[in-house]
Structure 1
């Protein structure tokens, strides 16, 4: 549909941002619901981020998503943030309020859990310990979401142990820091294995992890979606584990922001997945 002078506008702020699939994601929903609105890429250098964020309400934006490397800076730039975003230490969703103030939230954990529930309906967070590889921003959101959802224990391992220890100290709760060299042993008795590292991503080194101690009933997921089926997922599937790819986390995390900006709660569908992947018209 044609945009009017009353169109609501949102976007995604990152540096770089040209690789982001969020414009495809939100553009699909805007067309699907016939909304008078637009969602645009906003390439912002780190040194310009604070000023750019404060300009959003002045430019009439409804809000924005925030991606690498700005999620931590976004937390500091907001007037108010959700308790969850404060706990994670990062904001990925900004809402411009009528009074011109900025509210920030983190929907990555929501997207992660919704993706698992949709991709493997029988999975339950309380079913057993989760092994989480990595200790970056995504891992913080994933671990917080798992603990809040009732996961009895998170076994956290990272190539740099200090980062994992820092994450555990910040979030608290039932987190056991495991040395990277002990990652294989940590799989014993686990109900979930999550890779939040870039290992296995297109152009990155492979993830070196033998899966033999992992129970056959465990669910395996990788938040990477390029490639869509990583080597980890392929090997897990070959041995009989249920697997969930990482694309759905991106799709589901976008739903709360879209609702806040455009007034409609969108759904994740096969047609949406195809459009975001580029298998159908974007």
Structure 2
């Protein structure tokens, strides 16, 4: 606790970077009645270890970590969960009572929980999964899908060597497609995921042909700004059920709130609205 008796948490970001998480946590504090605070801390990369070491004594219960620092943080924490190791990054730190720093990654949980809540009858066995992109976000999705038993995961990336690295690391369930043939990725797929920056505000639109999508398939875009992307609109036009990136962000953050503040926060329309304002 800090001197005002309020438990604290924060998100660590590089200088100049912003985050929607403080808005989400403020809404959760109101919804749960928890008397806590959640801050945005801008930290230089060379200062991460020193800053993190000082925070428990200042009343912090734990931290979120921006994507830019998630791999580097693995060298700072004392304990790393298996899923964080597989995802090659820590997005959540819990300051334990024994003084240890516990590093976890809840992104995979957030991705799967968002699918299950958005499309309750989603079946991991309902055909291959198709992922556009091969960066850190795609690694999260691959790890999560393999854990729930998806039998074939197709990947197409503008950086083919990255996709090949995922196939080398995760094995024969990964099938790599050339980006020039990315339009074939969705043929017969039960799930399609945009894990690229395409469609994000300030980026080019996602323009891969999607006519191979089967009605009833599930489409997920990890972008939160905007939440209603061209990828999702196009998928819905083909009869797909969709899950946006906002839900994934909320469901990955909810377990951290519970660990730090002792209550499971709601994920509902009021919280979604708080994120977008």
For this structure pair, what is the TM-score category when the shorter chain's length is used for normalisation? over 0.9
Q: Secondary structure at the match of 1:28?
A: helix
CA contact (8 A) 2:63 2:92 kept: yes
Match of 1:51 in 2: 50
Cα deviation code 1:101-123 (max 9, x no counterpart): 10010000111111111111121
What residue in structure 2 maps to residue 121 of structure 1?
120
Residue aligned with 1:69, SS: helix
Structure 2: 5+ residue stretches without partners: none
Using the TM superposition, give the Cα deviation of residue 18 of structure 1 relative to its aligned residue in structure 2, in angstroms: 4.8
Structure 1 stretches of at least 4 aligned residues deviating more than 3 Å after TM superposition: none
Q: Is the 8 A contact 2:133 2:157 kept in 1?
A: yes
Question: Structure 2 vs 1, CA of residues 276 and 165 (structure 1 numbering), >3 Å: closer, same or farther?
Answer: same
Q: Which residue of 2 aligns with 1:199?
A: 198
Structure 2 contact 131–193 (Cα < 8 Å) conserved: yes
For structure 1, list consecutive stretches of 5 or more residues without a partner in the other structure: none
Q: 2: CA distance between counterparts of 1:71 and 1:39?
A: 19
Q: Provide Cα deviations, 1:158-212, integer angstroms capped at 9, x if missing partner.
A: 1111111112223335111211112111211100100011001111011121111
Gap change, CA 1:83 and 1:207, over 3 Å in 2 = same
Aligned-pair Cα RMSD in Å: 1.5
- Specify the alignment match of 1:62 in structure 2: 61
Q: After the TM superposition, which residues 240-279 of structure 1 pair with which residues of structure 2 at under 5 Å, given as runs?
A: 240-278=239-277
Q: Normalization by structure 1: what TM-score?
A: 0.94
Instruction: Tell me the alpha carbon deviations over residues 187-239 of structure 1, each in whole angstroms, 9 at most, x when there is no partner.
Output: 11100100011001111011121111121121111000111111111111122
CA distance in 2, matches of 1:17, 1:120: 36
Q: Is the 8 A contact 1:111 1:249 kept in 2?
A: yes
Q: Say if 2:214 and 2:238, in contact at 8 Å, map to a contact too.
A: no
2:6/2:37 contact within 8 Å kept: yes
CA contact (8 A) 1:13 1:65 kept: yes
Distance 2:224 2:46 in 1: 29
2:80 and 2:20 map into 1 onto residues whose CA distance is 25
TM-score, normalised to structure 2, is 0.95
Q: Given that residues 4 and 36 in structure 1 are in contact (C-alpha distance below 8 angstroms), is that contact kept between their aligned partners in structure 2?
A: no
Shift of 1:135: 1.3
**2:40 corresponding residue in structure 1:** 41
**Displacement, 1:81?**
0.9
Structure 1 residues 8-17 or 195-204, which shifts more?
8-17
Aligned residues between the structures: 276
Distance 1:16 1:198, change over 3 A: farther
